Structure 1
Amino acid sequence: MSSQHTLQARDLGLGYGEREIVSGLDVDLPPGRLTVIVGPNACGKSTLLRAMGRLLTPTAGTVLLDGKDIHRTSTREVAACLGMLPQTPVAPDSITVADLVGRGRYPHQGWFRRWTAADSEGVAAAMLATDVLDLADRSVDELSGGQRQRVWIAMALAQQTDILLLDEPTTYLDISHQLDVLDLLTDLNRERGVTLAVVLHDLNLACRYADHLIAMKAGRVIVEGTPSEVVTESLVQEVFGLRSTVIADPASGTPMVVPLGRHHVPSSSSSPSAR
């Protein structure tokens, strides 16, 4: 697998009905890199990702896959090189885990949907990587939120695309599985050259895992670059409205944001010397 495909947005306008979310936005996903998009709720992160994954039609501008308008490219051609895991995917009633993950193989099959050994290997590898192999025969309806999320990630992995977009893939997962998923995405990027764009809420996890960080607010890109270039106390204040101090993460050396509440400094009456 290589990362020769490119994905860009040019002068992008996005909205729902009369409500404009994004206007005049330009975004380039660095090929072969892991990009994380961060920002406060309702800033346009998920809307942008949906548009770049061809799930939302722009009101203006265009999304370019390999320099071509993604909406003028065939569905099969797009699906062969770009995979998308939206924020709230919906599974067909009573479908089993193995069958759902297997749907990720459709872009690689011919017109007659012939299942091959490569399809079986791709599904098994994706389920093993996401720790859902023992759930293969279970109905997706029966699973917990965390299990279901790992199954959806497995389906996205089974598609084996050069570009993969994931909207909040750590939702419903405990901290251990959050790290497992982000480690897995890092491995895909490092070992196979997959271009990744991930929306995350946790700024510190974003800093730890991102090669390229995009910070958004109110439908605009405020700043982008490496986490060390982007994440400063003033940036956290501007984007999230949060007073903080930024230190080096003791585990990774990447920026780590420590929030400062209104009462972070002990009052003189509560200090030991005042007693």
Structure 2
Amino acid sequence: MATPDDDKERRGPVVAEHTLQAQDVRLGYGDREIVTGLDVSIPPGEVTVIVGPNACGKSTLLRAMARLLPPTGGSVLLDGRSIQEMPTKEVAAVLGILPQSPSAPEGITVSDLVGRGRYPHQGWFRRWTAEDDEAVAQALLSTDVLELADRPVDELSGGQRQRVWIAMALSQRTDILLLDEPTTFLDVSHQLDVLDLLTDLNRERGVTMVAVLHDLNLACRYADHMIAMKGGRIVAEGRPRDIVTEELVGEVFGMRCTVLDDPASATPMVVPLGRHHVKGAAA
């Protein structure tokens, strides 16, 4: 059976050259501080997944790394430079973001929304090109929304809209892609399709991925690097097989469980235990 390390060895050369770091970052909203003095370095060319309970700071950290939330202390560095001091278009040409619960202009069509992902590549004198057409078409096709291209976004179901937003992020064709709960509103089949698609982008193009996921088993299956957070701090980080233990799940999620090997992926599989189940007890 193939293992994640076997898959890693089958990859082509990593082409990602950009680095993304947070140094002694403090984050919050108003007077409420959520993240205090956090340091993190995203491994270039890998899939990093951030996990943790609600309100632990996962999305807040992702928003700061995407320059959507200015730190109240410390700094986020893109290629060693403060991301807050970089021109917006320069950041957008390198780093794409799928935020949580994005909103589209009223009446905009699917193809027009996905096409907005190409704006960072439009210079003062550069017009729409065949390359832009190809990027949009490929993004629509990859996310299974090509047949919706002429539909208004506000007429779509939640799952369809989520795939359209992912298509827009993909059409941007950045070397770093940040995704906050990309599987929201998707059924199980489309969750796997989207995560497989993102993994393919990473394997084939070396795109650095950072995603917030709620499903711990999907996180274990798709992450090269996992960051587990609780209370605005990092509790553990590393390869899922190295850090995901019954003790970690108990500390981070307050949940009793057993950790097995997933027979399909050879990654950790977390099996929750109810209050009345005792590990090792007879059935």
**What TM bracket, shorter-length normalisation?**
over 0.9
User: Is 1:64 equivalent to 2:77 in the alignment?
Assistant: yes
Aligned to 1:262: 275
Residue 73 of structure 1 corresponds to which residue in structure 2? 86
- In structure 2, what is the Cα distance between the partners aligned to 1:193 and 1:90? 29
What is the distance in 1 between the residues matched to 2:220 and 2:131?
Answer: 35
- Residue 139 (1) aligns with residue 169 (2): no
2:61 to 48, 72, 78: 48
Q: 2:24 aligns with which of 11, 16, 24?
A: 11
Q: 2:204 matched to 1:191?
A: yes
Match of 1:248 among 242, 261, 283: 261
Measure, in 1, the Cα distance between the counterparts of 2:95 and 2:15.
12
Show the counterpart of 2:192.
179
Partner of residue 98 from structure 1, selected from 89, 92, 111? 111
- 1:163 paired residue number: 176
Does the aligned pair in 2 maintain the 1:106–1:113 contact within 8 Å? Answer: no
For residue 197 of structure 1, what is the amino acid of its counterpart? Answer: V
Q: How far apart, in 1, do the equivalents of 2:39 and 2:198 lie?
A: 25
Deviation of residue 262 (structure 1)?
1.0
Letter in 2 for 1:114: R
CA distance in 1, matches of 2:212, 2:126: 32
Specify the alignment match of 2:52 in structure 1: 39
Match in the other structure for 1:24: 37
Residue 150 (1) aligns with residue 163 (2): yes
Shift of the alpha carbon at 1:2? Answer: 2.9
- Displacement of 1:229 after TM fit? 0.7
The one-letter code matched in structure 1 to 2:258 is T
Structure 2 distance, partners of 1:113, 1:105, is 11
The alpha-carbon deviation at position 250 of structure 1 amounts to: 1.3
Aligned equivalents of 1:27, 1:135: Cα separation in 2: 39
Q: Within 2, Cα distance between the matches of 1:249 and 1:57? A: 39
Partner SS, residue 245 of structure 1: strand
Question: Aligned partners of 1:265, 1:67: CA distance in 2, in Å?
Answer: 49
Partner amino acid for 2:114?
V
1:113 Cα deviation (Å)? 5.9
Counterpart-to-counterpart distance in 2, 1:114 and 1:89: 27
* Separation (CA, whole Å) in 1 of partners of 2:243 and 2:219: 11
- Secondary structure class of the residue paired with 1:257: strand
Give the distance between the partners of 1:110 and 1:161, measured in 2 at CA: 16
Could you list the runs of 5+ residues in structure 2 that have no partner in the other structure? 1-13
Q: Secondary structure at the match of 1:165?
A: strand
The aligned residue for residue 218 of structure 1 is: 231
Count of paired positions? 269
- Aligned: 1:238 with 2:238: no
TM-score by length of 1: 0.96
Return the alpha-carbon distance in structure 1 between the equivalents of residues 90 and 253 of structure 2: 38
Partners of 2:278 and 2:101 in 1: CA distance: 40
Displacement of 1:111 in angstroms is 1.7
Cα RMSD between the aligned structures? 1.5
Gaps of 5+ in 1: none
Q: Could you tell me which residue of structure 2 aligns to residue 110 of structure 1? A: 123
Scaled by the length of structure 2, what TM-score is found?
A: 0.93
CA distance in 1, matches of 2:110, 2:137: 11
**Superposition deviation, residue 264 in structure 1:** 2.4
SS of equivalent residue, structure 2 residue 93: helix
Structure 1 stretches of 4+ moved >4 Å: none
1:134-163: CA deviations, max 9, x gaps?
000000000000000000000000000000
Q: Which amino acid aligns with 1:202?
A: D
Deviation at 1:265, TM superposition (A): 5.2
Q: Which residue identity is paired with 1:214?
A: I
Q: Which amino acid aligns with 1:210?
A: A
Indicate the SS of the match to 1:42: coil
- Mark the structure with the bigger radius of gyration: 1
2:220 corresponds in structure 1 to 207
